[in-house]
C-alpha cells in the first residue's frame, strides 16, 4: 500500500511541476471524418490516411472535425447498425470542462489506478493447479459481509460470468474493483484472473507467464466452464492485460467459450511500447512496482532469471528481457515477440470485441502511431470506441450516477446488445428452417462462427479431475 501511494504522489508531483501545461491538460484534438452507412447514426474515423476504405466520407454536422466526444470505428455490418441503435452509451460521452480535474488525462489515469474504493464487494479465492503444477488464482466477487463470503455459487446458476483480466503487472486497480462491483449489481458473476506470482498467488514452479502466452488462461477458462456450465462467459481486460486476452481469443478462435469481450485502454503495439515505454513518471512507477513484487522470489527464480540484471534495469524492455529473453534458449527479443504479439492470430478471433480508448491516453501514446485503425475498419469482429478524453482506463465523466462510470456502462450494453442480436439471428434461422426457406442470415461476417458462441457451451471433453486440483482460501 505504501508503494502504491508513493507512486501516485510521485506521478502527481512530476506532472504538476515538470510537464508543460499543454501536455498536462491533454493532447490536441485529432482531426477525422465520418464513417457513413451504419444506420441512423454515424461513426467517425480519425485517420485521413485510411479514406480509401470509406465510401463518401462527410464532415461532422454542426461541429468542426476532430471535436466529437466519442467515435465508433468499425466495418459496416448489420451488427454495427444494431449496436448504434441499441447502445445509447456509445453516443452520450460527456467531456469535462478545462478547469476540471477530469480534463487532465494524467489525473484520470492516477485516479483510476491508485485511488482507494470503498465497496462492500469481497472476494472468494480459488487456487487452480495447472497441468505443470503451477498455480493461478481465481477471485470470485461476492457481495455482503465477511460471514457471507463462504457461500458458493451454485454450478447450476444461469447468471453470466464476467472474467476480468487485470494489467500484465498484476496491479488490482480501482477500475478493476469498480468493474466487479458494477458486474455484481447487474447480475454477473465477476471473477478476477491472477497470473502466477501476482496478487498474492504463490509461485509453486520457477516459471512465470510470458506476456502473450494464453496457456494458463486457457486452463482457467475451461475450469470456469466446468464449474459454471449454464452461464454465458464474457471477458474484460484492462490496459496491458488486453495482450493476454487477445492472444487467447486469436489462438482459440471459435473454441474460446467466450460470447463477447471488451478491452479497456488496450496496448496494441506491445513491442514498440516496451521499447519506447510510457512517459517517465509512469515508467518508473511500473518498474518500481514490478521489482517490488518480484523481490520476494529472488532466490526461487535465481536459476532461471538474471536477478542482478533485472533489479538494475532502467526500462520496461530491459526488465522484460531479463525475465523471459535468454538468447541461447528463447532466441532473443525479436523471437519473444513473434510468440507473444497479441495481434499475431487476430484474424482467427471469432467473437465481437469492443475496445475503448481515449485520444489523450498518456500511457499508450499518440493514437496515430499506437492504434491499428486498419484492424477495426476491415475486421467485422472488432469495434473501437474512441473518446476525446479519459486518460488510461479512466473515462470518468461529469455527472456520473452512482457507481456506474461510462466505460463500464458501455461494455455492459455491448455485451447485452451482441447477445440479443445473435439470439434474434438464431431465432430467424430456426423460423426459416421451419418454413423450409434455408436458414440464411444477413450477418455474413459472423456466419458459422460467432452465432455458435451464444449457444450453451458443451462440457469439457477431457477428464477435468485428472488435470485440475484446486483449493479455496479467502481474501480480505
* C-alpha to C-alpha distance for 43 and 419, rounded to whole angstroms: 22
Please give the grid coordinates belonging to residue 434: 421451419
Give the three-state DSSP class for 374: helix
Active-site position among 122, 381, 392, 408: 392
| Nearest C-alpha neighbor of 108 from the set 26, 192, 21 | 26
Total residues belonging to the chain? 476
Annotation marks residue 420 as catalytic: no
- The secondary structure of residue 42, as a DSSP letter, is -
Contacts 24+ apart (CB under 8 A), 429-436: none
CA distances to 128, 163, 309, 324 from 205, rounded to whole Å, are: 13, 25, 21, 15
CB 121 within 8 A of CB 150: no
Active-site position among 139, 360, 361, 381: 361
Annotation marks residue 381 as catalytic: no
* C-alpha to C-alpha distance for 156 and 61, rounded to whole angstroms: 51
**330-359 burial code (b ≥16 CB/10 A, e <16):** eeebeebbeebbbbbbbeebbbbbbbbbbb
First to last CA, the chain: 14
Cβ contacts of 255 within 8 Å, gap of 6 or more: none
Any idea which residues carry the catalytic annotation?
361, 392
Amino acid at each position: 500500500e505504501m508503494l502504491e501511494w508513493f507512486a501516485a504522489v510521485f506521478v502527481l508531483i512530476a506532472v504538476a511541476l515538470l510537464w508543460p501545461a499543454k501536455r498536462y491538460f491533454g493532447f490536441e484534438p485529432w482531426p477525422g471524418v465520418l464513417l457513413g452507412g451504419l444506420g441512423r447514426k454515424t461513426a467517425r474515423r480519425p485517420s485521413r490516411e485510411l479514406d480509401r476504405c470509406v465510401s463518401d466520407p462527410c464532415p461532422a454536422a454542426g461541429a468542426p472535425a476532430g471535436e466529437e466526444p466519442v467515435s465508433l470505428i468499425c466495418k459496416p455490418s448489420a451488427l454495427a447498425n444494431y449496436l448504434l441503435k441499441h447502445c445509447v452509451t456509445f453516443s452520450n460521452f460527456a467531456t469535462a470542462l478545462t478547469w476540471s480535474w477530469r480534463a487532465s488525462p494524467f489525473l484520470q489515469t492516477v485516479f483510476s489506478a491508485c485511488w482507494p474504493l470503498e465497496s462492500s464487494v469481497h472476494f472468494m479465492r480459488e487456487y487452480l493447479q495447472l497441468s505443470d503444477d503451477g498455480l493461478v488464482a481465481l477471485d470470485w466477487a461476492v457481495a455482503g459481509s465477511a460471514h457471507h463470503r463462504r457461500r458458493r455459487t451454485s454450478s447450476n446458476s444461469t447468471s453470466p460470468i464476467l472474467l476480468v483480466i487485470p494489467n500484465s503487472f498484476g496491479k488490482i486497480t480501482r477500475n478493476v474493483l469498480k468493474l466487479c462491483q458494477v458486474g455484481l449489481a447487474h447480475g454477473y458473476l465477476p471473477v478476477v484472473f491472477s497470473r502466477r506470482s501476482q496478487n498474492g498467488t504463490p509461485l509453486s514452479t520457477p516459471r512465470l507467464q510470458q506476456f502473450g502466452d494464453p496457456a494458463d488462461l486457457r486452463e482457467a477458462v475451461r475450469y470456469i466452464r466446468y464449474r459454471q456450465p449454464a452461464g454465458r462467459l464474457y471477458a474484460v481486460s484492462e490496459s496491458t492485460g488486453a495482450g493476454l486476452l487477445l492472444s487467447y481469443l486469436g489462438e482459440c478462435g471459435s473454441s474460446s467459450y467466450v460470447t463477447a469481450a471488451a478491452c479497456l485502454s488496450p496496448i496494441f503495439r506491445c513491442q514498440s511500447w516496451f521499447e519506447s515505454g510510457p512517459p517517465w513518471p509512469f515508467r518508473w512507477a511500473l518498474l518500481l512496482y514490478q521489482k517490488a513484487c518480484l523481490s520476494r522470489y529472488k532466490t526461487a527464480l535465481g536459476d532461471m532469471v538474471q536477478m542482478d540484471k533485472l533489479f538494475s534495469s532502467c526500462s520496461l524492455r530491459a526488465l522484460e528481457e531479463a525475465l523471459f529473453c535468454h538468447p541461447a534458449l528463447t532466441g532473443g527479443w525479436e523471437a519473444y515477440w513473434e510468440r507473444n504479439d497479441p495481434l499475431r492470430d487476430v484474424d482467427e478471433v471469432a467473437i465481437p470485441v469492443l475496445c475503448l480508448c481515449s485520444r489523450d491516453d498518456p500511457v499508450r501514446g499518440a493514437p496515430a502511431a499506437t492504434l491499428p485503425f486498419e484492424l477495426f475498419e476491415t475486421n467485422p469482429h472488432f469495434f473501437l470506441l474512441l473518446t476525446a478524453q479519459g486518460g488510461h482506463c479512466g473515462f470518468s465523466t461529469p455527472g456520473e450516477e452512482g457507481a456506474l462510470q461510462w466505460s463500464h456502462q458501455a461494455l455492459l450494453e455491448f455485451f447485452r446488445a451482441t447477445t440479443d442480436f445473435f439470439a434474434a439471428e438464431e431465432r430467424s434461422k430456426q423460423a426459416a428452417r421451419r418454413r423450409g426457406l434455408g436458414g440464411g442470415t444477413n450477418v455474413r461476417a459472423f456466419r458459422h462462427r460467432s452465432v455458435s458462441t451464444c449457444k450453451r457451451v458443451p462440457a469439457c471433453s477431457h477428464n477435468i479431475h485428472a488435470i485440475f486440483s484446486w483449493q479455496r482460501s479467502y481474501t480480505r
